[in-house]
Amino acid sequence: MVSGGGMSGEGVGEPEVVAAAGAAVAVEEAVAPAPARELVVGYALTSKKAKSFLQPKLRGLARKKGILFVAIDQKRPLSDQGPFDIVLHKLTGREWRKLLEDYRETHPEVTVLDPPCAIEHLLNRQSMLQEVSELDLSDCHGRVGVPKQLFVNTDPSSIPAAVMRAGLSLPLVAKPLVAKSHELSLAYDPISLTKLEPPLVLQEFVNHGGVLFKVYIVGDAIRVVRRFSLPNVDEGDLSNNAGVFRFPRVSCASASADDADLDPHVAELPPRPLLEILAKELRRRLGLRLFNIDMIREHGTRDRFYVIDMNYFPGYGKMPGYEHVFTDFLLGLVKKEYRRRPSYSSCEG
Ligand SMILES: O=P(O)(O)O[C@H]1[C@H](O)[C@@H](OP(=O)(O)O)[C@H](OP(=O)(O)O)[C@@H](OP(=O)(O)O)[C@H]1O
Ligand SMILES: Nc1ncnc2c1ncn2[C@@H]1O[C@H](COP(=O)(O)OP(=O)(O)O)[C@@H](O)[C@H]1O
Ligand SMILES: [Mg+2]
Ligand SMILES: [Mg+2]
């Protein structure tokens, strides 16, 4: 790890340069913490994720700042590898989870980003937005909520009645319960609802001018980008469309809307103070440090926002300047641990 002593990640060679500057500095050196060493970050990611995240610009900057990324072999006990200061991961499966939980217990000195029990909330679309819906952000430079939604795991023929009872209005977005599945569809009429395949979350479609805000969280840092999204649905669409419309992933990289010529009312980013409080609350309530929030602004309003999706360890490689944000975050974690500040290492409480 890079030790304290006022260094802010400039590079591991710095203490020697300072010591050479004169005797007065040498006295300070004598009481300074142990010499800096590399911060070792073990990562357990799919090969797709490793490629998109560990780009040469991140590896290069990390090396300069004294951070070394080391691949974890999932098949071997973690204790036989490393030693690590930090473990970054996005793998699924019960075996991996057990391995990681055991490792956390036997190696409390290692920061695991993030604890598997905390990530669990975001793996299921029924639980993922629960914390957002419980927040009261009615007077924070805007309002944030969750579209009306309903979890269905019944016989598809009973869906229209369940939707009526719950008071949801058409059209509805049908989302697979499992968050890593992206087979979404839009249902305009009650008959289409019977063609859906539970388990599902049905969410009211909110017109938002075809632009979505991807809010990336990396510890305390927040970055927002615009992405193209589904266009508004009008009364004509509702009466002329029948059937289930399946749509592929729309919030992908090629759909960045940051340079597009957009209606300024649609393009205006959510207010910073609103994002700050939202991110702070969710970090605390979920016990997560690496996630993103997909947010839309209700069309025709200035300050009515909805969170429609959250993802653990999203595609940070597409976040502008992510290499700086990430390396600063990793170094900052070490300083926090060094000062023995309370960390988020537990899911309890
Ligand atoms: O759900 P949306 O809003 O589309 O955001 C997605 C999810 O976070 C994906 O994770 P998951 O598939 O686990 O839900 C992630 O894929 P990976 O984590 O596999 O990379 C994507 O990263 P990119 O593929 O880099 O865009 C990111 O854009
Ligand atoms: N309630 C909604 N209202 C309007 N558009 C939505 C809604 N939910 C999802 N979408 C659109 O569908 C896309 C994918 O939905 P999302 O919940 O983000 O799933 P995924 O995990 O596949 O990204 C969003 O980026 C947005 O364009
Ligand atoms: Mg999404
Ligand atoms: Mg998602």
Q: What is the ipTM of this complex?
A: 0.92
Joined together, the tokens standing for residue 223 give 């970055």
- DSSP β-bridge partners for residue 226: 213
60-95 per-position pLDDT tens digit:
999 999 999 999 999 888 999 989 999 999 998 888
**Are residues 303 and 219 part of one domain?**
yes
| Per-residue pLDDT at 26 | 34
Kind and range of the H or E run holding 213: strand 211-218
CA of 95 to the centre of ligand 2 (A): 31
- DSSP β-bridge partners for residue 45: 90
Joined together, the tokens standing for residue 307 give 């969170």
> Domain of 66?
14-119+324-338
| Per-residue pLDDT at 257 | 83
Residue 3 lies in a domain: no
Cα→Cα distances 180→135, 157, 176, 183, 288, Å: 25, 26, 9, 9, 18
CA of 196 to the centre of ligand 4 (A): 19
Residue 1 lies in a domain: no
Average the pLDDT over each of 11-15, 31-35, 118-122 and give the range with the smallest value: 11-15
| Domain CATH code at residue 154 | 3.30.470.20
Please state the domain count of the chain. Answer: 2
Q: Is 136 exposed, middle or buried (0-12, 13-18, 19+ CB in 10 A)?
A: exposed
**Are residues 173 and 112 part of one domain?**
no
CB 143 within 8 A of CB 296: no
| Per-residue pLDDT at 205 | 97
Residue 74 lies in a domain: yes
The greatest distance separating any two alpha carbons of the chain, rounded to the nearest whole angstrom, comes to: 83
Residue 248 lies in a domain: yes
| Domain CATH code at residue 63 | 3.40.50.11370
Residue 346 lies in a domain: no
**Are residues 133 and 101 part of one domain?**
no
**Are residues 152 and 104 part of one domain?**
no
| Per-residue pLDDT at 30 | 39
Among 219, 5, 11, which Cα is nearest to 114's?
A: 219
| Per-residue pLDDT at 337 | 63
1-15 per-position pLDDT tens digit:
433 333 232 222 222
Ligand 4 ion: Cβ-proximal residues, 5 Å cutoff: 309, 311
**Are residues 259 and 155 part of one domain?**
yes
Backbone torsions φ then ψ of 55, nearest 5 degrees: -70, 155
Is ligand 2 within 6 A of the CB of residue 294? yes
**Are residues 134 and 155 part of one domain?**
yes
